[in-house]
Structures are given as C-alpha cells and as structure tokens.
C-alpha cells in the first residue's frame, strides 16, 4: 500500500512538471487575485530592496508577479493591469534566471523560452551585487507598436509605460513580502544581444526580484 502511494506521488509529480514545461516554455499557474496585503498597507511598506537572499522564488509567485506587472485583467477587451499610451501594450517582460531566459506571454500566461544560460550579469551591469538575485525582470518597450507619433514622443510614452509596469511590480512585491528595486542600470548592448531585440525594442528598466535578506539582530 505504502509503495503504491509513493508510486502515485512520483507519477503525479512527473505529470505536473510535464504540464509546466512544454517545448522549453513554462506554463504558469493561474494567478492568485485574492492574496497579499491590503492596498494601503502595501503602499505603507513599499521600499526599494538592496540586500537579497539567493533562495529561489516559487513559480506561483512568478506567475502572480508577471500577471500583476502586465497581465491581462479584462480578457473580453484584451486589456492589461498596466495602462499604456494608445493602448499600444508596448512593454514586454523578459525573465532572466540562473539557467534560462524567458519572455512573458500574457495571452497564454506562460513564459516562452528565449535563451539558455545565466545572463543576470548583463542585467546587473555595473551594480554586480544584483547578479545573484534569483529572478531579474527586464522591461522592454517596442516603440513600433505606437500607431502614431514621432520617435521622441514614442520614447517618452515608452518611458511612462515602463514606469507604470514598474510600479505594478514594486507594489506586487511589497504586497507579497518579496524584495525588488526599479533599476535603470544594465548592460544594454549585451542585453539586446542576449534577448535578440530588434532596432525598435528598448530595454527601459529592470527589477531584481527575490526574498529580502533577513537582518539578524546583534546580541545585547
Ligand atoms: C527610473 C528609476 C531608475 C532607478 N535606477 C536605479 C538603479 O539603476 N540602481 C539602483 O540601485 N536603484 C535605482 N533606482 C531606485 C532608486 O534609487 C530608489 O527608488 C530611490 O532611492 C528611492 O528609494 P525607495 O524606492 O525605497 O523609495 C531607480 C529608480 C527609478 C524610479
């Protein structure tokens, strides 16, 4: 009987991992839209984190994070948690972890495989302390999605749209007890190469996301 229970457990684990990984892509669990701190408490604790633990964030937290950042919250209108100029939905989220790089696909709520390898150093740039943070989210605007405006207007809207997504990330992390900081520092030429970006795609900001290092109180 005990053996049967163990075998069933192994089978279930295999099935759930296969359900998550499909041709290198990762299907994300349904985001939890009920949890987290209440809104005003979230604002009260929002702060940039600088010291991160290297412990990996759970897939459920990555799922919530990406949905909160720029997921689809009104499927009937194909609209997002973050507003965007002209509803261009120009911000894409790239997720860099220790072994692979993914692109968030809000339509299917999954992470599409982009590249192998640990490229977090390119996101950390000159602030090398961030290269060990388990999840790095890079906000990339594709300014060709604006259906009007000259280049300067488009870059302005891109910056504003990235700021809105960035604040969603900061607030989700504050609400979920995770640490993050919005950062403009990154190795942009290297990232463009790793992510395979085209001319009209601009890395705007990035967010390291992980657990905050616990501060151990000194003994009295
Ligand atoms: C557009 C923008 C760019 C930023 N770039 C960096 C950065 O490259 N590196 C960094 O450590 N912090 C960066 N920050 C974080 C700010 O330093 C931080 O938000 C500021 O000190 C206020 O602290 P608080 O977020 O805890 O209120 C950036 C913040 C913003 C809004």
Residue range 104-113, pLDDT digits in tens: 999 999 999 9
Residue with the bigger pLDDT between 219 and 101: it is 101
Whether residue 17 is contained in a domain is answered as no
Q: How far, in Å, is the centroid of ligand 1 from the Cα of 188? A: 17
92 closest CA partner among 83, 103, 78, 108: 103
Give the pLDDT band (50/70/90) at residue 21: low
Taking 70 as the threshold, does the pLDDT of residue 16 lie above it?
no
147 closest CA partner among 80, 86, 84, 78: 86
Whether residue 215 is contained in a domain is answered as no
DSSP string of 156-213? Answer: HHHHHHHHHHHHHHHHHHHHHT-EE--B--S-HHHHHHHHT--TTEEEEEEEEEEPBP
If you take atom 14 of ligand 1, which residue's CA is the nearest one?
A: 183
If you take atom 28 of ligand 1, which residue's CA is the nearest one?
A: 183
Q: Which atom of ligand 1 is nearest to the CA of 170?
A: 25
Write the pLDDT tens digit of every residue in 148-174: 999 999 999 999 999 999 999 999 999
Q: Which atom of ligand 1 is nearest to the CA of 186?
A: 8
Answer yes or no: are the C-beta atoms of 161 and 141 closer than 8 Å: yes
Whether residue 55 is contained in a domain is answered as yes
Whether residue 8 is contained in a domain is answered as no
Question: What is the mean predicted confidence (pLDDT) over 208-213?
Answer: 97
Give the pLDDT band (50/70/90) at residue 195: very high
Answer yes or no: are the C-beta atoms of 91 and 140 closer than 8 Å: yes
Answer yes or no: are the C-beta atoms of 202 and 158 closer than 8 Å: yes
Q: Which atom of ligand 1 is nearest to the CA of 181?
A: 15
Q: How far, in Å, is the centroid of ligand 1 from the Cα of 48? A: 7
Whether residue 59 is contained in a domain is answered as yes
Whether residue 80 is contained in a domain is answered as yes
For the chain, the average pLDDT equals: 92
Does residue 181's CB lie within 6 angstroms of at least one atom of ligand 1?
yes
- Name the residue range of residue 145's domain: 27-210
Whether residue 12 is contained in a domain is answered as no
Whether residue 93 is contained in a domain is answered as yes
Partners of 100 in beta bridges: 116
How many domains are contained in the chain?
Answer: 1
Domain of residue 190, CATH code: 3.40.109.10
Longest dimension (CA), the chain: 70
Answer yes or no: are the C-beta atoms of 179 and 209 closer than 8 Å: yes
């Amino acid at each position: 009987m005990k053996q049967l229970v163990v075998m069933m457990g192994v089978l279930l684990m295999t099935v759930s991992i296969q359900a998550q990984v499909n041709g290198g892509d990762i299907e994300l669990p349904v985001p939890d839209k009920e949890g987290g701190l209440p809104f005003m408490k979230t604002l009260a604790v929002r702060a940039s984190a600088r010291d991160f633990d290297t412990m990996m964030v759970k897939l459920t937290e990555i799922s919530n994070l990406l949905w909160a950042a720029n997921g689809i919250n009104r499927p009937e209108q194909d609209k997002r948690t973050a507003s965007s100029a002209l509803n261009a939905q120009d911000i894409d989220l790239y997720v860099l972890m220790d072994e692979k790089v993914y692109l968030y696909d809000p339509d299917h709520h999954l992470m599409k495989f982009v590249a192998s390898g640990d490229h977090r150093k390119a996101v950390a740039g000159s602030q090398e302390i961030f290269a060990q943070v388990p999840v790095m989210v890079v906000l990339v605007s594709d300014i060709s999605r604006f259906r009007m405006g000259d280049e300067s207007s488009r870059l302005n809207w891109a910056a504003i749209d990235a700021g809105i997504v960035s604040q969603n990330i900061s607030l989700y992390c504050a609400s979920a007890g995770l640490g993050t900081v919005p950062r403009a520092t990154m190795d942009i030429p290297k990232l463009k190469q790793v992510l395979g970006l085209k001319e009209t795609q601009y890395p705007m900001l990035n967010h390291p996301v992980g657990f905050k290092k616990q501060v151990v109180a000194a003994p009295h």
